Amino acid sequence: MKLESYDLFEDPNRHPCKGASTISARASTDQHKSGKEVNGLRRRGTSYKMDVDERKSPDKGSNAEEIDDDIFKNKELFFDKKQFYILQEIPYTDSYNYDYKLIDQFYQSGGDSYYVNGDSSSGAEPSDAESVSTGEKCVVNHGNSNRTQRECRFLRNECLKQCEFNRDGSCYYTLSSSNNVRLYATDPLALTFLEYGKDNSTNLKSLHDEYFGMVEEEKWKRNNSWININMNEHVYDCKFYPHFEWNNVNTCFFGVSSKDKPICLYSAFDGSHLISFKTLSECYELCNCYSLCFHPEKNWLLCGTNKSIKVFDIGIPNEPLENRILSTRKGKGQKGIISTIDYKKEGYGMNTLYAVGDYNDCLYLYADNCDHKNDYILKFDAKNKSNGITCVKWFNEFYILSGSRNGSYIYLYDMRNGKGYVQKYERYALTNQKYLFDTHQNYLLSGDTFGYINMYDIVTNKLIHRQLINSYSPIISVSAHPTHPLLLTGSGTRRFYENNNHQVDIITNLFYNQGGNNTKYDRVSQTENKHPFPIHSSYLNSACTVFFHFPHGS
């Protein structure tokens, strides 16, 4: 099995050709020996026998690889070679007097706390005169215009709620608190670099030089969306059509669900309205759809409502194809608002079985051909102290990853063992936001409340990398590019003018080291970063395209 890896910012002193920057492709082969024990799995003939350690580690595929332990021992390799780099950052409206430079000075001075309005004094409280002088102005769009204090009270910061790549990774959508759905093109220079860069013997420095030489018009196009749809009401969910292809105009669309409105499909070319579906209750009243899921094979759209899933055929507007009632008042089925749906993508039951999570913190397993009314295939015993499941992802053939809001872990469930989770991964989601995560090959990628991106190897149950991306806001959404080592991250949270003077304590180290884990994940400052691309976000609320060198290639 041939795997490719990218060399970032080659050191001229170590490279055979000094000053040259190359991207090399390294080949590695998997070595499998019969009878050899690999992490709790013993191969006997053509079958695998489960060991005690299987409860702690998922099944390994035939092409699974060992992780080099030196990555955890060599600090320079851990923070230099394996590091996230922000290739593109798209900021969102900052309506308050938030001074980023003062907060950067706070990190350089080593203080313990900072003020949301930009006062970074870590010692005594500011005087009344100072607080009045800093509170009487309000900056819109990062310092473009000033407003009075009275006008500021009616403003709200525009924060991201979720973002996701489409099927081929050529574009992505963002949902914001201003009820706007925007479509952006994935940076074409980055895609060209990752696709053809290794043939041209270039590296990220040459990519940065191309960015630096851009004209202002090209930079403006690069950072602006070509579609901006305002829904006027709260937007619950958005999903791309799974068979999205630019060559076929009939597949280039996405679905949006919003409060007190039918579900609408929009064209990805110009944002025009294509078709709508009404989710009606038993009393023929319009009910809200809280989650969307396109069927991976059929032209079906599944809409999660309160205690039911309504199935629509894309070719038949308005009329529901099926109303899957999951529970009745006295029944034992799944009660609550359906928050997330995900279909099984491989193995037995592929494209037929699907996992459903709700805001009652319950996780159920259904099939398209089963009787959904008070009936289900499997119910997972998810007695976790959280405020509802917000994201569910299938991993391999038998495993399901489940993440919740107001929770501290992402849980891994085995459908062969419905008694409880088999593994949990530390991820602090301490607010009521969704905190969407994603998987790439064998890796789990997630953000947290403190602005970190966590990368776990699901097979070995090890933390591969953890890095601070946003010093100001939580990372609430992470989406992996389907073909290239790129991540799409969304950061932001609600901030109100009345409490923007409150002190915020930096307690990340307390949370991540409370279990006796002394592994050091030092924050690398931007001044120490020797590479042209930043490693920290520069804005409160933004969508970032992040490059990462995966340990086993992309």
Parallel, antiparallel or unpaired: strands 300-304 and 308-313: antiparallel
- Angle, nearest 10°, between helix axes 204-212 and 188-200? 140
151 — pLDDT class (breaks 50, 70, 90): low
Q: Between the CA of residue 513 and those of 1, 109, 426, 521, what are the distances in Å?
A: 38, 23, 11, 10
Residue 114 has pLDDT above 60, yes or no: no
* Residue 313 token pair: 């055929």
Q: Please check whether residue 237 is in contact with residue 292, taking contact to mean a CB–CB distance below 8 angstroms.
A: yes
Instruction: Count CB atoms within 10 A of the CB of residue 269.
Output: 13
Percent of the chain with pLDDT over 90: 39
pLDDT given at position 198 = 53
**Is residue 511 within a helix (H) or strand (E), and if so which, with residue range?**
helix 508-512
pLDDT given at position 441 = 87
230 — pLDDT class (breaks 50, 70, 90): very high
3-state secondary structure of 116: coil
Q: What is the dihedral of CA 4, 467, 488, 288, to 10 degrees?
A: 140
Mean pLDDT value of segment 251-257: 95
Count CA within 13 A, CB hemisphere, residue 99: 16
Partners of 429 in beta bridges: 407
pLDDT given at position 301 = 95
3-state secondary structure of 216: helix
* Rounded Cα distance, 452 and 541, in Å: 14
Q: Whole-prediction pTM value?
A: 0.73
pLDDT given at position 540 = 83
pLDDT given at position 548 = 84
pLDDT given at position 169 = 93
pLDDT given at position 95 = 60
Task: Name the range with the highest mean pLDDT among 7-16, 86-95, 248-257, 312-321.
Answer: 248-257
Running DSSP on this structure, what letter comes out for residue 53?
Answer: G
Partners of 309 in beta bridges: 304, 324
More confident residue, 490 or 66: 490
* Residue 77 token pair: 């390799």
Residue 305 has pLDDT above 90, yes or no: yes
Residue 544 has pLDDT above 50, yes or no: yes
Residue 331 has pLDDT above 80, yes or no: no
* Residue 257 token pair: 């669900």
3-state secondary structure of 187: coil
Residue 7 has pLDDT above 70, yes or no: no
pLDDT given at position 471 = 83
Percent of the chain with pLDDT over 70: 65
111 — pLDDT class (breaks 50, 70, 90): very low
* Rounded Cα distance, 255 and 433, in Å: 21
532 — pLDDT class (breaks 50, 70, 90): confident
Biggest CA pair distance of the chain: 79
Q: Which residue has the tokens 């055929």?
A: 313
pLDDT given at position 539 = 84
Residue 275 has pLDDT above 70, yes or no: yes
* Residue 114 token pair: 């900072």
Mean pLDDT value of segment 453-466: 92
Count CA within 13 A, CB hemisphere, residue 177: 21
Q: Among 95-99, 304-308, 375-379, 436-440, which stretch is predicted with the lowest mean pLDDT?
A: 95-99
**Is residue 410 within a helix (H) or strand (E), and if so which, with residue range?**
strand 407-414
Any idea what the Cα angle at residue 455 is, between residues 449 and 456, rounded to 5°?
115
pLDDT given at position 82 = 57
Amino acid (one-letter) located at 459? V
Per-residue pLDDT tens for 183-228? 999 998 889 888 876 544 347 778 888 888 888 888 888 889 999 9
pLDDT given at position 156 = 64
Q: Among 69-78, 189-198, 413-422, 428-437, which stretch is predicted with the lowest mean pLDDT?
A: 69-78
Average model confidence (pLDDT) across the chain: 73
Spell out the alpha helix ranges (H) of 66-203.
Answer: 70-73, 75-76, 100-109, 128-135, 149-152, 188-200
Instruction: Count how many residues are written for the chain.
Output: 554
Q: Please check whether residue 353 is in contact with residue 367, taking contact to mean a CB–CB distance below 8 angstroms.
A: yes
Parallel, antiparallel or unpaired: strands 417-429 and 486-491: unpaired
